[in-house]
A and B are shown apart, each in its own frame.
Chain A
Amino acid sequence: MASETEFTLDTAAQLATAERGSAPIRGRSPWYLAWRRLRRNYVAFSFLGLFVLVLVACALAPVYASHVAHTGPNAEHVLDTVKVNGHTESVVTNGGYISKKTGKPCATSETGCILISAIPIGPTWFSAGGKFVLGADSIGRDVAVRLLYGGRNSLIVGIGSTAICVFFAVILALLAGYFGGWIDFVITRFFDLFYAFPVVLLGIALGSALAINGFHHFGINIVSGSLWIPTLVISYVLIPYVGRPLRGQVLSLREKEFVEAAISQGASPLRVMFSELLPNVTSSVLVFFTLIIANNIVLEAALSFLGAGVQPPTASWGTLISDGQNLIVSRPWLALAPGIAIVLTVLSLNVFGDGLRDALDPRAKVKIDH
């Protein structure tokens, strides 16, 4: 009797025959598996939703401006009035000495008071029919409209610079990892050099230099107010941060059998690089892409805040904060709103990027149950 319960090769064969009748096991692509893991990560997914929401809101900026606020991002309303709950109020009133503590007018002689030349209208929260929802700035521009347009510019610069950065980093990493030798040596030295650079300092220097006259060399013409300037200035900063780890990955993939097989079949270097090596680093590239957009949005804001990024009167979240910081005493929303917008956008990208990494890298040693 004991021989029946014993697990022999025969029982295994029987089991296999029995299973053959049931549904076959379907092969699934790694992308599908990653997607399934990602789908189960509700936190990452809801933050992706938040980012999409920000994207859509900023993309609809012109619609909001023309149909709700009835003004443009750079339209000034210094002498205009607006009806709030039936009362007529002027958009910008004369300033004076304001107490830093209470935000109320005070005498010149009191300490803790600062002189503000003009005080714009505060947030109306839709009691003015969609006008000046977040108030106006010191020359009477609608802050809500500028926030959306500014978001559009910040996102364009952030995403554009990331695309350029990742593109060059991938090319350099593939070249260095595939060819090795002196090409690898030159490219790694180049990465090292950029690591040693005070990059933010250089970004500011370049940004403010280009902001004066634009760039007109080698047949390239960029006018001084162009969004291309901050985009290009920011794009190079993080190239080594992406390029170095990618180069490491390419270097180890280069030794794998499938690359050897491709080469022995006569595949050209370009073919090996782009259709053998590149697909294997795509997941890392995707993760980097998300996280670097987040980083570049903050960097753009910092440069614009220092006057070396997006140039006024063009709105961006950084220029809005720098416009708002002097009025923070009486109209804190001018500086708070763009800052909160940055935090939410960057946070959503960071959380989603994390989730993406967990989903795409099944070899990660630690899995925390969500």
Chain B
Amino acid sequence: MATFLVRRTIGAILVCIAVTFIVFLIFIVVPGGDPAQRIAGKNATPQNIINIRHSWGFDQPFYTQYWDMLKKMFGGNLVSYTNQQNVLTQIVQGMPATFSLTVGAGVIWLFFGILAGVLSAMTAGRLSDRVITVLALIGISMPVFWLGIVTRYYLAEGGLVSWFPDGEYVGILQSPSQWFSHMILPWLVLAVLFIGFYGRVLRGNILDTINEDYVRTAKSKGLTPRRIMVKHVLRTSLIPIITLFGLDFAAVLGGGAILTETVFDLHGVGQYAALSINNFDLPPIMGVTMYGAFFIVGFSMLVDLFYAYLDPRIRPT
């Protein structure tokens, strides 16, 4: 187990470094405007730009620049080109909104996804199964930002009703009730896609498991259908769902909810990244990508460990 952990950790660190290197390369190779020009502003003299280029180190070879950026990033001193704000502080500021969004939506999508999967598998072929399948497919086919715009206007801004408060993120410490009511709509919108997806995956898994011999044994022992479902079928069928959940949860936590955050103006990490990208601001993008990669790599490690715990056959040696 220890060697497995060490190997995975080294692999994870290598992946994170590779990710930063690729992002850095993209911004060197892709023409998108000189960062010195960006810092200097519109009315800068050529001498001005040369000075900035020198003082920020843009005239250095790219590996020196990359090394400097890595040093700054791990020291927490990464600074935006556009407004000279510290990237780490900005990311930390966005984290409460992103975490609230992800955790709430995660709970909703896991619960309803499992519910949908179990219901449609237990009634496979019947009307309720068809209805759930159709709804799940529609959920998967819906662009999340469009759903966000439409529901925000019709349900929160008063296009039809004003059931939900409209507006930005409210801190949970400021007012828990306000926090909750402001987050419901973003949670639901973000969860729709995953509910559909998980429901379908789980339905397939359950239907595969139901035909296994040990389920037949359980049935012939006279166990109740409920007990068979919970203790025998779901136990195996949920394993792939847990993997999926770990990875999706990490992706959303790592800035993957960029669209939901933008549409609902939540000022989370994803929205920070979107704004920086529009300004062509390399350091925040590096920071957020690194932050995202950190969660994704970390959670995939956790998922592997959990998997090994659940299924002794794949326990690493």
Residues of A at under 8 Å CB distance from B?
100-101, 112, 192-193, 195-198, 200-202, 204-206, 208-210, 212-217, 294, 298, 301-302, 305-308, 321, 325, 328-329, 332, 335-336, 338-339, 342-343, 346-347, 350-351, 354, 365-366, 368-369
Contact = CB atoms under 8 A, between A and B. Distances in A.
Contact of A213 (B23, B32, B140, B247): B32
A112 to B, nearest CB: 6
Contact of B150 (A217, A301, A307, A339): A339
A328 B251 contact: no
Interface of B: 15-16, 18-19, 22-23, 26-27, 29-33, 124-125, 129, 137-138, 140-147, 149-150, 153, 157-159, 162, 204, 207-208, 211, 247, 251, 254-256, 258-259, 262, 270, 273-274, 277-278, 280, 285, 288-289, 292-293, 296-297, 300
A205 B141 contact: no
Given A350-B137, A368-B125, A193 B143 contact: no
Contacts of A301: 143, 145-146
Contacts of B145: 301-302, 305, 321
A192 B8 CA distance: 12
A259 to B, nearest CB: 27
Contacts of A205: 23, 26-27, 277, 285, 289
Contacts of B247: 195
Given A201-B289, A209-B280, A328-B149, A347 B137 contact: yes
Contacts of B159: 100-101, 328-329, 332
B50 to A, nearest CB: 22
B198 to A, nearest CB: 15
List 9 A-B pairs, minimum CB-CB distance, nearest first: A198-B292, A346-B141, A339-B146, A101-B158, A347-B141, A209-B32, A366-B207, A209-B30, A213-B31
25 contacts: A101-B158, A195-B300, A196-B19, A196-B297, A196-B300, A198-B289, A200-B256, A200-B258, A201-B277, A201-B285, A201-B289, A205-B27, A205-B289, A209-B27, A209-B31, A209-B32, A214-B31, A305-B143, A306-B262, A306-B274, A343-B142, A346-B140, A365-B211, A366-B207, A368-B125
B255 A350 contact: no
Contact of A100 (B27, B157, B278): B157
Contact of A208 (B142, B149, B278): B278
B29 A217 contact: yes
Given A200-B256, A332-B153, A343-B142, 14 more contacts: A196-B297, A197-B22, A201-B288, A205-B26, A205-B27, A209-B26, A209-B27, A301-B145, A302-B144, A321-B149, A328-B150, A350-B137, A366-B207, A366-B208
Given A193-B18, A328-B149, A329-B153, A365 B26 contact: no
Contacts of B143: 298, 301-302, 305, 321, 339, 342-343
Contacts of A298: 141, 143
A278 to B, nearest CB: 26
B259 A305 contact: yes
Contacts of A308: 277
A202 B296 CA distance: 14
A112 B297 contact: no
A136 B115 CA distance: 43
Contacts of B124: 366, 368
Nearest to B32: A209
B259 A302 contact: yes
Nearest to B212: A365
A100 B300 CA distance: 44
Given A196-B19, A198-B251, A307-B278, A206 B149 contact: no
A305 B144 CA distance: 11
A210 B277 CA distance: 12
Contact of A196 (B27, B150, B296): B296
A216 B32 CA distance: 12
B141 A204 contact: no
B32 A212 contact: yes
A307 to B, nearest CB: 7
Contacts of B262: 306
Given A196-B293, A342-B146, A294 B259 contact: no
A193 B149 CA distance: 33
- Max chain A C-beta neighbours (<10 A), residue from B129, B153, B270, B297: B153
Interface centre among A193, A198, A210, A347 (most CB of B within 10 A): A198
Given A100-B157, A196-B300, A205-B277, A215 B30 contact: yes
Nearest to B145: A305
A204 B258 contact: yes
B293 A202 contact: no
A346 B137 CA distance: 9
A346 to B, nearest CB: 4
Nearest to B147: A339
B274 A212 contact: no
A366 B129 CA distance: 14
B24 to A, nearest CB: 11
Nearest to B208: A365
Interface centre among B32, B254, B278, B300 (most CB of A within 10 A): B32
A325 B280 CA distance: 24
User: Taking each of B143, B157, B288, which has the highest tally of chain A beta carbons within 10 Å of its own beta carbon?
Assistant: B143
A201 B251 CA distance: 10
A150 to B, nearest CB: 13
A350 B197 CA distance: 12
Nearest to B295: A198
A197 B147 CA distance: 25
B274 A366 contact: no
Given A200-B256, A209-B27, A192 B141 contact: no
Given A101-B158, A210-B30, A350 B289 contact: no
Contacts of B162: 101
A42 to B, nearest CB: 13
